[in-house]
Structure 1
Amino acid sequence: MKKHRILSCAVCLSMALSTLSASVFALSFNDVDNDPTVAWAKDSITQMTEAGYIKGYEEGTFKPYRAISKIECLLLMSRMLGVEEEEYADFTANAKAMYGTTVAKYNTTYPDELCFLLYMGILTESDLVDYASTANANTELLRYQAAMLMAKLMGADSEAKAFSVSPATYADDAKIPSSAKPYVEYVTEEGIMNGMDKDANGNPQFSPTTSLTRAQMATLLARMIDKLDKMTYTGTIDTLDLNNDVIAIDRNGDVSERNVNDDTVARQDGKSIQLNTLAEGSEIAAVEINGHIQLIEVVSEGSGSVSDKKGTVVYALISSLTESADGQRITLADSEDSSNNATYTAASNCTYTINGTKGNFSSLKKNDFVKATISGGKIVAISVEDTDLTISGTLTEVEFDEDDHVYLYVEDSEGDEQQYVVSSKGATVTRDGSSAEYRELSAGDKVTMELYKGKITKVKATSSTESFTGVLSEIVIATQPSVTILIDGKAENFKLRSDARILISGEEATIYDLRPNITVSGTLDSSEIRTLMASSVSTNEKGEVTGTVTGINTSYKVITVEDSNGNSQSIYYNTKTTFLKSSGDTTTAKSIEKGATVSITGAENNGIFEATIIIVK
């Protein structure tokens, strides 16, 4: 496993935020200075442009009323957190190494910034679906979404999610999505966002589905500058008191207690670990936000208790044991290939278990079959095991390498994942009582495996079947294709089985015929899709689609329309599509606004509805 260490020197990464604007030297904008309707935001615009967070355009304008896109907001958030600052450069490098492949599925233009937000624990991968995917990145950021992102930026996602007031602050509370209501109340309480206007009775309204403008974003950033207190430092863990959410850290002889919370992320070798697996004496690099540690990166492990430590588990035979002034060293060898071996130093606090009882280094013998836990390049726990083992858990992945090895990744009841390798002599595999091939196994299967000297000799898998209905939001065409589906407002990512069946309007189709923003249903085989069904766009007797525009993505050339029955439908257009106003004048796709009523004429083509004429009423 690659060790991602915090380096002593750093390189500042300077990324141009080209989607926001081109860089200019003048910090005075004629469309701000000469527009009295923007006076309320002028000071914030000046402050944020001078700080370099948000910039103007080459012609000397700021375009204060232009809407901010979702991806632009994420880029600004990463800048606020230090993605371009020299002292955070190593975090950025580690983030890209850890999440580069993940981010590539969503947005390849700004990998550093998105990896950084994931690594810091500010965003989750489901957030990338909502804000950075092809279908969503360039859509306008709505005010309720801005409220959620600002809470996350403060490292207060858990706190905001649980926040509540009664009665609701805003008269249009019913228009705020239920999942966003606590966030809106939280940012209001913190003075980050407030109402837009008042209703007829003089009560404040939040206007949750109104797009956030550049002027409003500048104001938000200015408020966040005052609220966002961040710093990074290195030190050594002195003591842990997680019952009281406190870690004492020694920074060059100065020991101070630092707070952690539910949003704190701890990492070792780039991967997320539980806070309770941290050890006293560990060297760390930390990032603090608003008085709590947001990120702890373990640089080297300390000598604290390792009884609860996590690490890489290896089943092997002891090939040799040596002890010298340099320490106690154990060579572990593959039970089926003695040339495949590695030598490790035993940690000073390594725990030894011999036939279920406590032992020591001298209790080990050559050719003992052992289970070794390796962390930080050292053996931190080792136990002598029976050569015959039975392992049960949930299958998460089946992997094949170029040398014809087969690996099964299995998650135990505590959520810990372990890799197991199939014996070179092969293994018997059954699924739901019938003989099966490895490729027929599916993530989510419940498995019971028999192992001999650490190698799988028998696999018994049990599948589960589940139905689903949702909105298709992302399609990833790769060696292992997958789709992301919004089910009850939550983004769920599913792999497609190699034999998955796709139907559009009852006709056989392929993954290439699918498009985002259509309603789909189907069945899961464990956690992988076996069948995926989509309906065609419903039209009237004239072949027309009529409804209200709920979304438009000019990059993907798709308009989402809701009909009178509340059904959401995706309409695609191309260079041959004609756009007309009801007056007969021509118009363009960019001129179509949400809420507009449209009448669309077109036809089905390979499972999608392509418009030939779009009339905006």
Structure 2
Amino acid sequence: MKVKRLLSSLLALAMVLTATVLPASAATTFPDIQTHWAKSYIEAMTAAGMFKGYEDGNFKPENQLTTAEALALCARTVGLDSSTTMDISVDYFPTLKTLLNNEQNWFYQEFSICLATGILTSSDLKSLYQTGALTKPIEKEDLAIYLVRAMQLGPMADRLTSYPLTFDDASSIAADAKPSVYLLHVYGIVEGDEFNDFSPKLNVTRAVMATMLTRAIAYMQAHGTSPDLPEYTDYAFRQGVISSAIETNGVIQLSLSSDLSGAAIGTVTLPANVTIYENNMETTSSALKSGRHARVCLDSTGTPFAVRVSSELEVFTATVNGIDGKNVAVTADGTGRILTMDRFTQVQVGSKTTGDASIVDAGANYTTAVCKLDDQGRLVAIQFTGGTSTVEGILSSYTRTSTSAASATVQLIGFDGVTRTYTIPSGATTTVDGLVDPLSSTLKDSYVILRLLDEDNTVQSVSVDTKSNYVQGVIKSVDSSDETITITRLSNDRNATYDVTSAAVITYDGETTRLRDLDKNDFVTILLNESDDATMIQAYPSSTTTEGTISERTFGSGTDTTITFVVTQKDGTMVSFKVDLSDPPVVERDDEDSTVDKLRVGDEVEFTVRYGEVTRIEAITQNVNLTGTVERIIQEKSGYTLELTLSDGTKASYAVDNSVSVTQNNKEMTLSSLKPGYKLGLAVNGDQVVAIEIQQAVNTGNKVSGTILYVDYAEDIIYLRATTDTGSEEMVTVSVPSTAVILSASTGKSLILRDLDTGSVIEVNGAYSGTIFQATVILLQ
């Protein structure tokens, strides 16, 4: 951290400040202070470089200070090192140039510190400049406010609700200055005169300023004051609400819980030499009390070197009025406030997404926010609700889901190559090329932006751009000398080469990069101009992983040998993956080798996509959380309704989709195999059955029929899209041993396995052996 102790750094700091100083040896040569009451204070501050004398060799202690001069001295009182001072000056120069209209140049550096450390706000400085107050003598009560802020006690003054003053002229002190005057008096910075007056309207002289500064700096040094400037520190940190602090032989085990969720986030070991701060002043471990907020500062090795402690966080719900950069304008209890998100601020958008200020979308139109502030007034955490976020991609499919023309399901191929599925509700606004127009399948391959409600990812609006020409695919090669890129296009699996314009915007995983830094097999989305030249390239890693739960499984039709899995992620987003049975990925289920046909709705999965294709699937089956006996089975169009007597004697009824996983002894069974009297274990999520385990009884059905999805001639396996009694479809793995008879149903002629192909309709007689249906006779329809 770029903060040093105060008095020892002031001489060095003075060398980089705009104001010049006399040598320390000249501090005692001022002839006009030798009998002055403030002689010792003046000498201390001139030795520290806070003041300079006049050209005639005098100090002139009774000369009045302007507001600008007093603010400059307050800025130096903070005690920042030269590096931090310079960083702050550079950052705030544009703001000051605008606020001061290029005037007051000699105080730019000090005014920058005033803004960065909270001595002044931008509106304070603007008002002082526009009213001419900067060049007028400063009154004592105004100085009290600025000096308290420079001492890092401003937030404490703001929180005071009682500040009894014993000065005889206390009633003449401005209301907003009284808390600051009270603190300065309590801490021995100011005293009453011979009449016990504070004299709030008195213009501050150089002697009075030297006295107050000397006492203030001594107080800060004695209490180890250390400013906390988030944007000018780079240490790692952990923070949260203190659950417990257990000290043993000087070492403290500090347990923290999340400021956002309240969940436990772990324990941090604080070494005996850790420095603990409260109100920016050193304190003891007694400050580490349950319910308080703590930020643990970590060095480069991950060892805590300091802890910043706050009292319990101030929590309030506010209406969000607008967001400008990191500043959030809110209204709470009828009062407007500006809150700033810094690098320590924890942010939650909607009910699930968490991160820092970078996840906040200024255009999301958040309606409310739960704000959590520490005792320094810093925004520790903010939870936005009612807002929206955007996703973009290329439309790969459109399916109407009801009789309503506006109700549909769309699939977007994201710029990262992942296909995601979204349901478009009937109330969503849809525009095509800026005009209100319904979605249709003719918009396939168009660029689409969806705006989603953060709370549940409900689509609020759809914007389609058919004018822009986007292509997607996997990089085959890059020629940086000719400025060309060759990709294998996702739409047709053909290679295409594009010239890249000199002004093309190129990014990799969201970061700006160069064409020559893109790698073979990276997934890219390219925007082409009218000449089919690339004007934008967004590239992402060739390998991505997606975690979630299988919520849907559909089979290809006709000669299509693919299965599409829809995976629902934790935030509710649905991602689609196509798996080709002719070239299946590696599948691991419950830590054992498995195959694609064993994957079922309800399985927790991780899909790995490499070079645009699914290469690995890891699955975990759902755990049983209910047991019962089947009393009745009712066939429905889309599956079954199971009526059961649960193990506790209660009755229950569940609608079960045909895609739900059914197993016995870790072997796959069919849903149609269930019979009354069977004892089942159910994995239930809410009111939805996601998996069934048969604990007693085995189905011995001897016939399946359906359409061939794919024939693996090497393994003598048929993947069959079987039709159940209710008209729904299941995937059945049929083993064809050498003893099986294959016949043409129309001619009776004997056939071999290679006479069967994708799309053929067959009837298979045989019996289940666990997960596999063993064929004895196959009839080709």
Could you say which TM-score interval applies, normalised by the shorter chain?
0.3 to 0.5
Q: Which has the higher contact order (CA 8 A, sep 6+)?
A: 1
TM-score of the two chains, using structure 1 as the length reference: 0.43
Rg larger in 1 or in 2?
Answer: 2
TM-score of the two chains, using structure 2 as the length reference: 0.35
